[in-house]
């Protein structure tokens, strides 16, 4: 799949060619619908799929292939996150927690527990607003900087990793990520623990291989049970 810049260049060339055809050969402008439709589809899927690398490069698989890489979004949660931490400790696993800034602010002690137990805290925006994808670059930067400050207060270190809400990217988010020199982290396997039942999620996780980045959420009641069963099965195999 071409990236955003390549797509724009191709689209402009096609439009110029078709308009020239209209002038020279009386082509119907109705044909413009085809490139416009294709362009729109590419923008949609490029935005929706964080691992398409369409707007900005994202890490969706790790070069360290000795283990799977667990990630958790949307916390910290006052009840679920501590359960997740206990399970990770039980199986001697480390993980990345992409925390929402407002939740770090509300539950600083749980955020500190994540760090103190050897896990990594990443930026998942401050508000996780449903409209985050429509924010202007300046507002995206403000959210990321505010969350990075909270993370630094907890860990004492600059946060260098970011996962956008819903895994959506666009030009404004890409500009903000580049401006702040952040590494975008995607995933290889989306567990779908927010919308699927335990059996379905575990079935999806059967394909996990060393090096894969797996997306969970430490905000769902059944995720600890799913994680426990998955790690028990994975480690035994």
Residue listed under structure tokens 């099965």: 233
Residue listed under structure tokens 């060393």: 210
Q: Which of 69, 74, 217, 218 is catalytic?
A: 217
**pLDDT tens for each residue of 100-115:** 999 999 999 999 999 9
Residue 217 among the catalytic residues: yes
CA gap 17, 225 in Å, rounded: 58
pTM of this structure: 0.89
Residue 128 among the catalytic residues: no
CA gap 150, 121 in Å, rounded: 11
CA gap 78, 83 in Å, rounded: 9
Residues of the chain with pLDDT under 70: 1-2, 4, 8, 11, 18-19, 21-31, 236-237
Q: Which two tokens stand for residue 42?
A: 């590419």
Give pLDDT, residue 8: 64
Q: Which of 69, 73, 128, 193 is catalytic?
A: 73
**pLDDT tens for each residue of 5-52:** 777 677 677 777 766 766 666 666 666 778 788 878 888 887 888 999
Order across the sheet with 189-190: list the strands. 58-59, 183-185, 161-162, 120-123, 95-99, 69-73, 213-217, 189-190
Name beta bridge partners: 31: none
């Amino acid at each position: 799949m071409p990236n955003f810049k390549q797509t724009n260049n191709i689209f402009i060339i096609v439009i110029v060619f078709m308009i020239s055809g209209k002038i020279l050969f009386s082509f119907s402008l109705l044909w413009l619908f085809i490139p416009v439709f294709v362009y729109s589809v590419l923008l949609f899927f490029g935005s929706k799929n964080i691992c398409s690398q369409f707007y900005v490069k994202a890490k969706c698989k790790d070069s360290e292939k000795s283990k799977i890489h667990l990630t958790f979004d949307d916390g910290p949660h006052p009840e679920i996150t501590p359960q997740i931490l206990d399970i990770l400790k039980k199986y001697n696993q480390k993980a990345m927690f992409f925390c929402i800034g407002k939740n770090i602010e509300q539950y600083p002690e749980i955020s500190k527990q994540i760090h103190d137990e050897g896990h990594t805290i990443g930026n998942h925006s401050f508000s996780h607003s449903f409209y985050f994808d429509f924010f202007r670059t300046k507002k995206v930067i403000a959210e990321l900087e505010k969350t990075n400050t909270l993370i630094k207060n907890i860990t004492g270190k600059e946060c260098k990793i970011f996962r956008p809400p819903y895994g959506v990217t666009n030009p404004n988010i890409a500009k903000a990520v580049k401006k702040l020199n952040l590494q975008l982290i995607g995933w290889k396997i989306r567990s779908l623990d927010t919308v699927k039942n335990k059996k379905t999620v575990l079935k999806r996780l059967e394909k996990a291989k060393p090096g894969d980045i797996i997306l969970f959420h430490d905000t769902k009641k059944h995720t600890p049970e799913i994680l426990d069963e998955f790690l028990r099965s994975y480690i035994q195999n």
